[in-house]
Amino acid sequence: MLLKIYDKLLNHFGNQNWWPADTKFEVIVGAILTQQTSWKNVEKSIKNLKNENVLEPKKLFNLPVKTLEILIRPSGFFKVKSKRLRSFLEFFVENYDGNLDKMFELSLNDLRNNLLSVHGIGPETCDSIILYSGDKPVFVVDAYTLRLCERYPIIKTKKYEEVREFFEKNLPKDVNLFKEFHALIVELGKNYCKIKPICEKCPLNEGCKHEISNNDMPNR
DNA sequence: ACCCAGGTGGCCC
DNA sequence: GGGCCACATGGG
């Protein structure tokens, strides 16, 4: 079932090659900045950080908050997100000396729990970090994934943990597959799921229960 | 002038 | 446990 959906999406959209970033650390910063924000805007912030040569753990840690706010302004919620970046950096430098290998040495479970304890890192950001920066097999669930589950009915619950476990149990434990699948679901959501008329051309048109409104995103 | 974007935490009931 | 709200910029 899930693999069939995956194949259709892959055939239609092709390989997405997520996450676009030069370093693992950049992935983490991007994961926090992209919360409820278009990637285009995040790119501007990332570019600013690179231009200032501060896109490294200790350098970012030592950056004054005011400066950080200015640099990440294009990606929105800049005061909230500068705090969230600070929370992560403090956690990261204090516990792992700003060393990603050290952090990712943890067991999947400890890693998840520790990241989730950081203020501003919720389930999706946590799992994006683990999958795309840590290369470990957790499935990232987002609002698009929940909507997909609703429309085909794949699973009744809308609870993050349950949906994540369902995908992980019903797919081969393949990091690359998890990366691509999540990216493809996002691509699907961006292109086809908003307005009913477009559904005719949707690769998942068959069996879709999209009947109602233009916007029925789970968290709006 | 709207509407939306690769969420999260706070507060209320 | 669920429902609503603030957070903010840039693009369509």
Residue A13 domain-assigned? no
Give chain C positions with protein CB within 7 A: 1-2, 7-11
Residue A108: name the closest of A93, A125, A126 by CA. Answer: A126
Dmax over CA atoms of chain A, in Å, equals: 53
Residue A59: name the closest of A107, A26, A10 by CA. Answer: A26
The answer to whether the beta carbon of residue A160 comes closer than 7 angstroms to any atom of strand C is: no
User: How many domains does chain A divide into?
Assistant: 1
Residue A99 domain-assigned? yes
Residue A127 domain-assigned? yes
Residue A52 domain-assigned? yes
In angstroms, the CA of A127 and the C1' of B12 are apart by 29
Give chain A's residues under pLDDT 70.
211-216, 219-220
Residue A89 domain-assigned? yes
- CATH no. for residue A91? 1.10.340.30
In this complex, the residue with its CA at the shortest distance from the C1' of nucleotide C6 is A77
Q: Other CB atoms closer than 10 Å to residue A201's CB: what's the count?
A: 10
Q: CB-hemisphere CA count at 13 Å for A71? A: 20
Residue A39 domain-assigned? yes
Q: Is A207 left (phi over 0), alpha (psi -120 to 50) or beta?
A: left
What tokens appear for A151 in the block?
């429309």
pTM above 0.85, yes or no: yes
Residue A176 domain-assigned? no
The answer to whether the beta carbon of residue A203 comes closer than 7 angstroms to any atom of strand B is: no
Residue A67 domain-assigned? yes
pLDDT 10s digits, A177-204: 999 999 999 999 999 887 777 778 889 9
Domain that holds residue A122: 24-133
